[in-house]
Amino acid sequence: MKIVMVGTGYVGLVSGVCFSDFGHEVICVDKDPGKIARLHAGEVPIYEPGLEALLAKNVAAGRLSFTTDLAEAVDGAGAVFIAVGTPTRRGDGHADLSYVMAAAEEIGKALTGYAVVVTKSTVPVGTNRKVAEVLRAVSPEAAFDVASNPEFLREGAAIDDFMRPDRVVVGVESERAQKVMAEVYRPLFLREFPVVYTGLESAEMIKYAANAFLATKITFINEIAALCERVGADIKSVAKGIGMDGRIGNKFLHAGPGYGGSCFPKDTKALARIGQEHAVPMQIVETVIKVNDEVKRRMILRIEDLCDGVLRDKVIAVLGVTFKPNTDDMRDAPSLTIVPALVGAGARVRLCDPQGQHEGQALLPGVKWSDNPYQAAQGADLVVLLTEWNEFRALDLQRMARKMAQPKMADLRNIYDRDEVLSAGFSHYVGVGR
């Protein structure tokens, strides 16, 4: 099948490359000629393990191409995916659908034959019906169906998630559209991965409900961690004990500095807004948003305590600035709250991240970047572990302690054992919920 992917951001590019690996002819479209030129040159504009090699393989096989010409790409396509951004709209917390609607209008003008227009962007309930209205308004005679196909890709593991999904969710309203979508995902169906067919509204809600639930789980364990610190319990033991319950599960029970990234912050805010608009307040989700912000601020106080209450002129090495490992994504990362607070209080901050410097240089002014964690720790009064990259999981702690002016560690991801750190020469160690 010929598939068009409108938008070459994280979701669009990963999905387009993976669809081409299924054997489909995929054309990825973007308005940014610079980005398309980079893709033509084989340069991937985002960091995602394995993506560059998979892109090169399918370009070489003639199944994957890139263009700025949407009309030419859409001609003859069986499925046209909308994979543009839906950032939080300023002022009201709602998802900004302007990019989605603009894409729909352009697609409608370009339709020449029957196609299924598929929304892969995360959109509020009811959006797909609005997409259909836009398509019909600009192209009254066109033959099309709309479908909702939300993505569930984890940054850093997106290719594996696409190729071996827990489930594929498809919202459709006609048998013809369902057959097209079944053909799109035929390789997964043949390998017996579950495909859930449902209505448009249900598919849209599944995405928001899933992300809100996971964000709630993270926030819950962070609140329990705060209580553990007061009562003398260890959050790692608590998380292990409750995670062994099959009804709860052990994933997303890792205490830390709060969630961030491209999905959870904006999707929880959007769901809360949807609830307000329909007079069904999402009270749990609204509390999750509030508590997550408080968790980040609590980490700042923890760092301040380790500096004896005075941050001014303290040299602080922060290891990891991306919101999670194996990505260069800085969106709503805890570092964007914590690092500016340290700089604002007069600390001299050094940062080290395997992939975060390119994005972080513009977002985190007033800091120095280091090539490795030992360079960052040279003469430091405190080292803060903020993102659990593999490079930071096996540090030479003795070497690091020797380089520091005051060997203290704030392990905000609970990577290390307290006794291990202290025996390596550190004078102080603080984790989360321990």
Q: CA 317, CA 382: separation in Å to the nearest integer?
A: 6
Residue at 124: amino acid letter: P
SS3 148: strand
Token pair, residue 335, equals 């570092």
The burial of 278, by beta-carbon neighbours within 10 Å (0-12 exposed, 13-18 middle, 19 or more buried), is given as exposed
Q: How many CB atoms lie within 10 A of CB 32?
A: 12
Long-range contacts of 230-236 (CB under 8 A, 24+ apart): 233/433, 234/433, 234/434, 235/414, 235/432, 235/433, 235/434, 236/414, 236/433, 236/434
Q: Output DSSP code: residue 405.
A: S
Query: Do the Cβ atoms of 377 and 404 come closer than 8 Å?
Result: yes
Active site residue 263: yes
Q: CA 259, CA 324: separation in Å to the nearest integer?
A: 9
Query: Do the Cβ atoms of 229 and 434 come closer than 8 Å?
Result: yes
Crossing angle of helices 264-277 and 200-231, in 10° steps, is: 110
Catalytic hit among 28, 228, 263, 352? 263
Scan for tokens 């849209």, then name that residue.
Answer: 204
The burial of 244, by beta-carbon neighbours within 10 Å (0-12 exposed, 13-18 middle, 19 or more buried), is given as exposed
Q: Which of 78, 142, 60 is nearest to 105 (CA)?
A: 142
Query: Do the Cβ atoms of 425 and 407 come closer than 8 Å?
Result: yes
Neighbouring residues of 308: CB distance < 8 A, sequence distance ≥ 6: none
Q: Which of 123, 192, 276 is nearest to 131 (CA)?
A: 123
Query: Do the Cβ atoms of 254 and 77 come closer than 8 Å?
Result: no
Residue at 177: amino acid letter: A
Scan for tokens 């929304």, then name that residue.
Answer: 119
Catalytic residue list: 263
